């Protein structure tokens, strides 16, 4: 009997990730890939592994794309999975147990274990990194252009930490810094629209505190060398947010030659 579950995957140019992602969800009754018109072999690989592929433009609206995905599901339960994530064996068993029990009063949050350079990040605020992923499709929708928020009428329950989702957030350092640039710009704009402004003191104190908290208070030092590197880069991430916020209402233009 097919499991009453649809796994929903949003993807664009994920040919390096999509196969392992779909294979980790092979227990689901249906796997749907919402493809943002990939120019690589994402759609072709997805088809070959039995997934249903629907092309739909993201248009910069992640929450809107997820809401569109929910409407495509033919099963009563849905599970959202990113292309850079994998469902672990323990999480697979738990998902099957919950879907078969079919208690539609609840939505379930699972932990995520992030890996970087083949190393699990269990400290520094990286774990357990709970996210809502398993819930009934009825009356569920998502809002948010980059950091989406789920809206649903169900009571949220956290699964045990060991029933985690495996996440590979960064392919390499180039990918890391690309995300750093993108998300710091977004954060600065969001703060500006909320009426916030930055000062020189903000640029100095907030990065120091963010890095200290990640490395010492949240135990990033326990992740060894990569824990130190990520805490150090978190300093620059936080500084970039406040520097960009400071300069949002400034103009970068020619002001005249020296007389």
Average pLDDT over every residue of 155-159:
98
Q: How confident is the model at residue 259 (pLDDT cuts 50, 70, 90)?
A: low
| 3-state SS string for 121-166 | ECCCCCCCCCEEEEEECCCCEEECCCCCEEECCCEEEECCCCCCEE
Q: Residue 133 has what pLDDT?
A: 97
190-209 pLDDT per residue, tens: 899 999 999 999 999 999 99
Q: What is the mean pLDDT of the chain?
A: 95
For the chain, give every domain's residue range. 5-167, 173-247
Q: Residue 144 has what pLDDT?
A: 82
Q: Residue 258 has what pLDDT?
A: 65
Q: Residue 74 has what pLDDT?
A: 97
Least confident of 67-71, 83-87, 151-155, 249-253: 249-253
Q: Residue 254 has what pLDDT?
A: 75
Q: Residue 96 has what pLDDT?
A: 98
55-92 pLDDT per residue, tens: 999 988 899 999 999 999 999 999 999 999 999 999 99
Burial of 35 (0-12, 13-18, 19+ CB in 10 A): buried
Domain 5-167 has CATH 3.90.550.10: yes
């Amino acid at each position: 009997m097919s499991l009453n579950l649809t796994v929903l995957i949003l993807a664009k140019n994920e040919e390096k990730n999509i196969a392992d992602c779909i294979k980790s969800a092979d227990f689901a009754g249906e796997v749907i890939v919402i493809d943002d018109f990939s120019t690589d072999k994402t759609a072709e690989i997805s088809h070959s592994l039995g997934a249903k592929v629907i092309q739909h433009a993201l248009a910069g609206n992640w929450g809107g794309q997820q809401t569109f995905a929910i409407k495509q599901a033919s099963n009563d339960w849905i599970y959202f999975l990113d292309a850079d994530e994998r469902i672990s064996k323990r999480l697979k068993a738990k998902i099957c147990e919950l879907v078969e029990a079919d208690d539609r009063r609840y939505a379930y949050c699972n932990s995520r274990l992030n890996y970087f350079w083949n190393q699990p990040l269990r400290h520094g605020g990286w774990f357990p990194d709970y996210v809502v992923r398993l819930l009934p499709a009825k009356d569920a929708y998502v809002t948010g252009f980059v950091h989406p928020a789920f809206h649903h009428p169900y009571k949220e329950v956290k699964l045990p930490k060991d029933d985690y989702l495996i996440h590979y957030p960064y392919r390499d350092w180039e990918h890391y810094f690309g995300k750093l640039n993108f998300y710091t710009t977004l954060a600065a704009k969001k703060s500006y629209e909320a009426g916030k402004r930055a000062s020189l003191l903000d640029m100095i104190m907030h990065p120091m505190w963010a890095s200290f908290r990640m490395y010492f208070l949240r135990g990033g030092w326990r992740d060894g060398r990569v824990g130190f590197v990520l805490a150090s880069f978190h300093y620059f991430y936080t500084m970039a947010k406040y520097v960009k916020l400071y300069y949002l209402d400034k103009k970068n233009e020619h002001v005249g030659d020296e007389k």
